[in-house]
Amino acid sequence: MKRRSVLVGALASVVVGPRISHAAARPAGSRALHRLDADEISGGRTFSQQLFSDNQSVYELVPERLYRVGCTVEAKRMSWLPKDLDAFEPINCYLFVDGDMVFFVDTGAAVAEPAVRLAMQEIVGDKQTNVTFTRNEADCIGNLGYILGTAENSKLMFGGVGGIFEWINDPSVAQLEVRDFLGRIPVEQVSSPTRKSYGNLTLRWFDAGVKEMFLTQWVFEEQTGCLFTSDTYGFRHLESSQAPPIIDSSDDLPAVDVVAKEFAERINWLPGSDYPMVIARLKSIFEEFDVQMIAPVHGCVIKGREVVAEHVALSIEALEAAAALG
């Protein structure tokens, strides 16, 4: 019997909330390998997936190496965005492929399960499946149970503390079965800081540069130069639900005050605070690592060294401005 019979993904982290303002995603060089249409996913969609999500798709970020898997959601459904924004929000998880092994970094909100299911069928198959996540909240682990329960050979890389069962529990499954989850799925500790290689991938886990939740990690993969930033750096949005969820240009950057407002909406300790050490450490992360791509769990992927540098400079100005917000 597959482990899927006793594990499910999380409730969708889609809530009725504030609206958004700027949106500026442009057609990017990365291609969509496959985009699900209504007929392909209607049979397996939950109510929330059917009502709220669009563009369930798999995008190739690095050829045959790294993929963005997810969907888009109308931004007015997102509680973490300012009220005066008006656009669409990408919901993301990420998938590395290395020979007979795959590695998920974050699993996305459960509203993106149709795209995750597609990736499991077309890319993962019977490959060894490793999974890690940056933050123990529903937008990062919403499909954790589905992936670990569906994969034939899976392992969890766990960097934090505390339970994950509330996001993977199926009400129809006996509680004792759920408590035995970690006894059946191998778990490898990757507390901050950790550097480990898996095949041709070299991953580094470390304390997040900017965060709301205390136990948040960022993950950097050295060969691709991709930095996974959890809920930070997700301040680029989409004008259309069907647009590619990738920014590969510094054109049309949002204004500093707009980004500051988003930071303050998401990270509630910023307004009125003084945090020069946070900004200094954030700068040091991008000085230490050759970041060629920023991959947030929601918001657009930011791709290209120069594009990353422009967005990092903007983020630092915005963090400085966020301190002055009331």
Locus of tokens 């307004």: 271
Question: CA–CA separation, 4 vs 21, rounded Å?
Answer: 40
Here the CATH number for the domain that contains residue 193 is 3.60.15.10
The DSSP result for 30-75, as a single string, is: SEEEEE--HHHHGGG--HHHHHHEEEEEEEEEETTTEEEEEEEEEG
Question: CA–CA separation, 70 vs 164, rounded Å?
Answer: 21
Cis peptide bond N-terminal to 193, omega within 30: yes
Q: How many CB atoms lie within 10 A of CB 55?
A: 24
Domain count, the chain: 1
pLDDT in tens for each of the 326 residues of the chain?
343 333 333 333 332 222 222 333 334 445 566 555 544 544 444 444 455 778 899 999 999 999 999 999 886 766 666 666 677 889 999 999 999 999 999 999 989 999 999 999 999 999 999 999 999 888 898 898 888 888 888 899 988 655 555 445 544 445 455 555 556 778 888 999 999 999 999 999 999 999 888 789 999 999 999 999 999 999 999 988 889 999 999 988 999 999 998 898 888 888 888 999 999 999 999 999 999 999 999 999 999 999 999 999 999 999 999 888 86
Is residue 324 helix, strand or coil?
Answer: coil
Containing domain of residue 84, as a range?
3-322
Task: Give, in degrees to the nearest 5, the angle at Cα 258 between 254 and 260.
Answer: 115
Backbone angles phi, psi at 72, to 5 degrees: -125, 150
Is the pTM value of this prediction over 0.85?
no
The DSSP result for 160-207, as a single string, is: S-S--HHHH--TTS-HHHHHTHHHHS-EEE-PSSEEEEETTEEEEEEE
Question: CA–CA separation, 51 vs 72, rounded Å?
Answer: 12
